[in-house]
Amino acid sequence: MLTTTLRGMVAHKLRLVLTTASIALGVAFLAGTLVLTDTMGTAFQQLFGKVSAGTDAVVRTEASYTASEGVGTSRSPIDAKVLDEVRKVDGVRVAEGSVSGYALLTDNDGKAILTKGGAPTMGYSMTADEKLRGDVELLSGERPDSPNEVAIDATSAEDNDIALGSTIKVLFQGPTQEFTVVGTVGYGDEKDLGGTTSAYFDTATAQKLVGQPGTFDTIDVSAEEGVGQSELAERLDAVVPEGTEAVTGKTVAEENSDAVEKDLKMVGILFMIFAGIALFVGAFIIWNTFTMIVTQRSREIALMRAIGATRRQVLRSLLLEAVLLGAGASAVGVGLGLAVAKGLKMLMDVVGFSLPSTSLQVEPRTIIVSMLVGTLVTVVAALVPARRATKVLPVEALRESTPGGEKTSKRRAFIGLTVLAAGVAGMLSSLYGGVTMKAFGLGLVAALLGVIVSLPLIVRPLSALIAAPMKLRGMPGELAKQNAMRNPRRTSSTAAALMIGLTLVVSMSVFASSLKASFGEVIGDKTNADLYVTSSSAQGPGFSPSVIDAVEDVPGVETVSTSGWGMARFGGEDTTYSSVDPATAADLMKMDLSQGSLSDLGKDTVVVSKATATSERLELGDTVESEFAATGKHQLEVVGIYDSKGWITDNYVISIEQQNTYAGAQLIASGLVKIAEGADLDEVKDAVSAALADHPDAKVLDQDGFEAEASGFIDGLLLFVTVMLLLAVMIALLGIVNTLALSVFERTRELGLLRAVGMTRGQVRAMVRWESVVISLIGAMSGAGLGIGIGLALSKALEDEGITGISIPGPQIALYVALAAVAGVLAAVGPAKSAAKVDVLKAVVTD
């Protein structure tokens, strides 16, 4: 049996290549994701390990709380006096305080040096002791040791031609200052920390500019020779005051890498979802292929049964073929995975998430998991068709059978519609009923499965609809339509693979488009602003409050209303909050309070959204417990409830003044500008722009400009998702090639007959091409329909979160569908060629 199986596989080389590719691509994505996340993890761990390599113990305040998301723990600063206590401890060779915070470098022309993909711009203190710096090393120049000196990361220096000795401005939360560049810094083999720009100051300067005078973030300790890390940490822990703790350097390094791993896990899961989609689509092609193999071989199988093969042997032979195919394809996939990992890394670089490089990490786990998953997916997909093969009766060996149609059953309709209904219900309940997003995912999968099951039922009407214009193409168009309709199950499962990709792409487009429309609406209708002052990089954290002072001084500017945001715990839940200027928010941000008044928003008070007021049963005068990392717990009185979300969408809103008290001095996220009556908008904008020349951390935009910037950002994300899904679409196209190739093979005699009675090669090619177009359009159109539905549901469900504008990007979706048709034509090139080459004689002569 094994030799028959092997020979059968080798005999159909094209089929072997296509089916291998359809599984291998999915496995490659999976393996690539695993390799990439392992590589990133290793790289970051090396990096953090090195950075804190020279630190034996760290003294810090105990965490007030650990955020459940994001990079771990926020702590309040430690009193600088503790340093003196620490230095007295036996076994301490040297101890220094360290601080870090926001610092934005500028280039020689005074323009901000922006990072890609939201990497932070940081300022650090540089310890005097070299060992305490760990792997942070001066590549050139020397350590900054006076208030006017700075050392910067080598990447920023090289990319912007900043020479040692030149003077650059550095922007902080507080006033901007000029510094002389005295050194460049590297990290082991790296010239920057994962895309971050870094500025190093002496400790006192850093305390003043990026921290708080009289405090440190942590106190880093190096032990005397012969004193172990834990021993040192224990001794330190005994003397440090209440609310502070001492831990080993190793612990800190581990905490850091854990936090990074947690963040990378999200990236890994994201990629894993796309790998899963690719594998799911690949499974369709396997299913399809095996179904066709079984049909084609039914005479062969019947013959084997007639001469005494048992059902079990038939099943085993087919499953063996699936195992061989799956394992072979997975092996190819693992190999390709290395290339995929490199490609994904490049994609991340392009998107702006640059990663420290290290050699690609291929763990045995990656190979084992990829091989198992790939093989399992193949075998599972082949299982149903293989079982069908066992039902072939021996007598069928004697029958002359033509590949014909099949009947669609009521049972299929029932099952399909039930699963679809369950899926839709699941999605809706998660969107509107507040059930988790996991339920949404499951619902989505169920809805897709439901559609896939019921798709054969609508293949006929859909083909007829799509092929209506093709009638103009004469007989080849007509025959193409009939061929697409004759085997609805095959056509639909081929089209379904494409449908899945299109559904996801289109739903994302609809969602993105609604997001853009809502944003436009917010800017257009939900503020009274004429101009917008924002961070100079779209993903920047914000700008210094001094920017607002500069803008307010511009003639023609009447009011500037600022807002900020942050993460804290309200009512026991980690959430983002907004901060506003109570005097101007009502007007410029159109914050309409249904109860209470914004003017009451001051010390220890909060305004909550109506949704939260309802869900948390809050009324005016109630207290909400808040907890800030820097300052701990505060009881806030509810002084207002606001109804309409617009510019401000967070559920908890405090005043900017209070934010600075609770969370420490903060950057401003945005400033809304209202111009004086009678002032010319363009003139004021130019004047603000001129005033911002000295403030490279901010820029001014008008309504259109702001909208365009937001759209650009959303488009970037959409592009990323689309590129990721492209792989699934590519696999689906391989599936179309495969189905067409097998159909052509199956219809050799028909093709011969057509050629004999006068169909030209060109007409035969056109026939196959049109069939391919019909199949792709079935997939594309059902995908587009489903995608629009899901996108709308998703947008509608997030109405409370501010997605109020619903928009379907018609031309874009039409373009996707048109591209699918073109892809259909391309997929048909090979099969059409072989169909045209059919030997008339062999086809029509009975042997």
Partner 1 sequence: MTTITTPPTYSTRTATAARAENVSKFYGSGDATVTALDNVSVGLAAGQFTAIMGPSGSGKSTLLHMLAGLDRPTSGKVFLGDTDISSLKDKALTLLRRDRIGFIFQSFNLLPTMTAAENIILPMRIAGRRPDDHWVASIVETVGLSGRLGHRPSQLSGGQQQRVAAARALASRPEIVFADEPTGALDSRSGAELLGFLRKAVTELGQTVVMVTHDATAASYADRVIFLADGHIVDEMHQPSADAVLDYMKHLGA
841 sits near partner 1 (criterion: CB under 8 A): yes
Rounded Cα gap, residues 787 and 769, in angstroms: 26
With CB under 8 A as the contact rule, which of the stretches 52-60, 173-181, 395-403, 810-818 interacts with partner 1? Answer: 395-403
Q: How far is the CB of 407 from partner 1 (least distance, A)?
A: 13
Rounded Cα gap, residues 519 and 514, in angstroms: 8
Beta bridge partners of 92: 223
CA 264 to each of CA 268, 274, 347, 451, 725: distance values in angstroms, whole numbers, following the listed order: 6, 16, 16, 34, 20
What are the structure tokens assigned to 385, written together? Answer: 């068709």
With CB under 8 A as the contact rule, which of the stretches 141-149, 384-392, 403-411, 816-824 interacts with partner 1? Answer: 403-411
Would you say 16 or 843 has its CB closer to partner 1?
A: 843
469 sits near partner 1 (criterion: CB under 8 A): no
Binding to partner 1 (CB under 8 A): which residues in 200-219?
none
Beta bridge partners of 716: none
With CB under 8 A as the contact rule, which of the stretches 221-229, 281-289, 294-302, 402-410 interacts with partner 1? Answer: 402-410
- Report the residue from 117, 403, 571, 716 that binds partner 1 according to the rule CB under 8 A: 403
Binding to partner 1 (CB under 8 A): which residues in 486-545?
486
Would you say 685 or 755 has its CB closer to partner 1?
A: 755
449 sits near partner 1 (criterion: CB under 8 A): no
CA 262 to each of CA 41, 53, 69, 361, 661: distance values in angstroms, whole numbers, following the listed order: 10, 21, 9, 18, 30
758 sits near partner 1 (criterion: CB under 8 A): yes
Q: How far is the CB of 760 from partner 1 (least distance, A)?
A: 5
Rounded Cα gap, residues 37 and 40, in angstroms: 5
Would you say 382 or 484 has its CB closer to partner 1?
A: 484
323 sits near partner 1 (criterion: CB under 8 A): no
The pattern of x and - marking residues 225 through 264 that bind partner 1 according to CB under 8 A reads: ----------------------------------------
Would you say 693 or 756 has its CB closer to partner 1?
A: 756
Q: What b/e string do you get for 806-840 counting C-beta neighbours within 10 Å, with b at 16 or more?
A: ebbbeebbeebbeebbebbeebbebbbebbbebee
Helices (H), 693-760: 703-746, 748-756
Rounded Cα gap, residues 68 and 575, in angstroms: 10
10 sits near partner 1 (criterion: CB under 8 A): no
Q: How many CA atoms lie within 13 A of 128 on its CB side?
A: 8
- Report the residue from 754, 788, 793, 794 that binds partner 1 according to the rule CB under 8 A: 754
Q: How far is the CB of 750 from partner 1 (least distance, A)?
A: 6
Binding to partner 1 (CB under 8 A): which residues in 711-750?
749-750
What are the structure tokens assigned to 479, written together? Answer: 């025959």
Beta bridge partners of 122: 102, 198
Would you say 109 or 400 has its CB closer to partner 1?
A: 400
State the DSSP code for 690: H
759 sits near partner 1 (criterion: CB under 8 A): yes
Would you say 50 or 747 has its CB closer to partner 1?
A: 747
Beta bridge partners of 183: 141, 151
The total of other beta-carbon atoms located within 10 Å of residue 691's CB is 20
- Report the residue from 241, 243, 434, 474 that binds partner 1 according to the rule CB under 8 A: 474
With CB under 8 A as the contact rule, which of the stretches 5-13, 537-545, 548-556, 752-760 interacts with partner 1? Answer: 752-760
- Report the residue from 163, 372, 708, 756 that binds partner 1 according to the rule CB under 8 A: 756
Would you say 232 or 462 has its CB closer to partner 1?
A: 462
Q: How far is the CB of 275 from partner 1 (least distance, A)?
A: 39
Q: How far is the CB of 847 from partner 1 (least distance, A)?
A: 10
Binding to partner 1 (CB under 8 A): which residues in 35-94?
none
- Report the residue from 753, 792, 806, 819 that binds partner 1 according to the rule CB under 8 A: 753
Q: Compute how many residues bind partner 1; rule: CB under 8 A.
A: 31
Would you say 226 or 469 has its CB closer to partner 1?
A: 469
What are the structure tokens assigned to 552, written together? Answer: 């307010």
With residues binned 3-state (H G I as helix, E B as strand, rest as coil), the percentages for the chain, rounded to 5, are 60, 15, 25
755 sits near partner 1 (criterion: CB under 8 A): yes
Q: How far is the CB of 773 from partner 1 (least distance, A)?
A: 18
840 sits near partner 1 (criterion: CB under 8 A): yes
Rounded Cα gap, residues 83 and 95, in angstroms: 7
Instruction: Give the residue among 631, 785, 807 at the shortest CA–CA distance from 711.
Output: 807
With CB under 8 A as the contact rule, which of the stretches 289-297, 443-451, 470-478, 530-538 interacts with partner 1? Answer: 470-478
Rounded Cα gap, residues 151 and 395, in angstroms: 86
- Tracing tokens 């980690």 back to the chain, one arrives at 574
Would you say 299 or 796 has its CB closer to partner 1?
A: 299
Sign of the CA dihedral 21, 22, 26, 29? positive
Would you say 475 or 708 has its CB closer to partner 1?
A: 475
Residue 509: which residues within 8 A CB-CB, separation 6 or more? 718, 787, 791, 809, 812, 813, 816
- Report the residue from 364, 404, 469, 811 that binds partner 1 according to the rule CB under 8 A: 404
Rounded Cα gap, residues 319 and 313, in angstroms: 10
With CB under 8 A as the contact rule, which of the stretches 231-239, 450-458, 753-761, 788-796 interacts with partner 1? Answer: 753-761
Phi, psi of 592 (to 5 degrees): -90, 120
Between strands 167-171 and 104-105, the pairing is antiparallel
482 sits near partner 1 (criterion: CB under 8 A): yes
Instruction: Give the residue among 732, 41, 19, 729 at the shortest CA–CA distance from 366.
Output: 41
The pattern of x and - marking residues 265 through 284 that bind partner 1 according to CB under 8 A reads: --------------------
Helices (H), 747-809: 748-756, 761-797
- Report the residue from 6, 128, 346, 475 that binds partner 1 according to the rule CB under 8 A: 475
681 sits near partner 1 (criterion: CB under 8 A): no
Q: What b/e string do you get for 736-754 counting C-beta neighbours within 10 Å, with b at 16 or more?
A: bbbbbbbbbbbbbbbbbeb
461 sits near partner 1 (criterion: CB under 8 A): no
835 sits near partner 1 (criterion: CB under 8 A): no
Rounded Cα gap, residues 386 and 312, in angstroms: 10
Would you say 710 or 751 has its CB closer to partner 1?
A: 751
846 sits near partner 1 (criterion: CB under 8 A): yes
- Report the residue from 299, 311, 761, 796 that binds partner 1 according to the rule CB under 8 A: 761
760 sits near partner 1 (criterion: CB under 8 A): yes
Would you say 157 or 751 has its CB closer to partner 1?
A: 751
CA 799 to each of CA 437, 515, 551, 773, 794: distance values in angstroms, whole numbers, following the listed order: 16, 10, 34, 38, 9
Instruction: Give the residue among 703, 701, 700, 680 at the shortest CA–CA distance from 691.
Output: 700
Q: How many CA atoms lie within 13 A of 58 on its CB side?
A: 24
407 sits near partner 1 (criterion: CB under 8 A): no
- Report the residue from 400, 617, 678, 811 that binds partner 1 according to the rule CB under 8 A: 400
402 sits near partner 1 (criterion: CB under 8 A): yes
Rounded Cα gap, residues 124 and 709, in angstroms: 31
With CB under 8 A as the contact rule, which of the stretches 334-342, 440-448, 543-551, 751-759 interacts with partner 1? Answer: 751-759
Q: How far is the CB of 397 from partner 1 (least distance, A)?
A: 18
- Report the residue from 39, 527, 763, 795 that binds partner 1 according to the rule CB under 8 A: 763
The total of other beta-carbon atoms located within 10 Å of residue 683's CB is 12
Task: Please give the residue ranges that form the binding site for partner 1 (CB under 8 A).
Answer: 400, 402-405, 474-475, 478-479, 482-483, 485-486, 749-750, 753-763, 840-841, 844-846
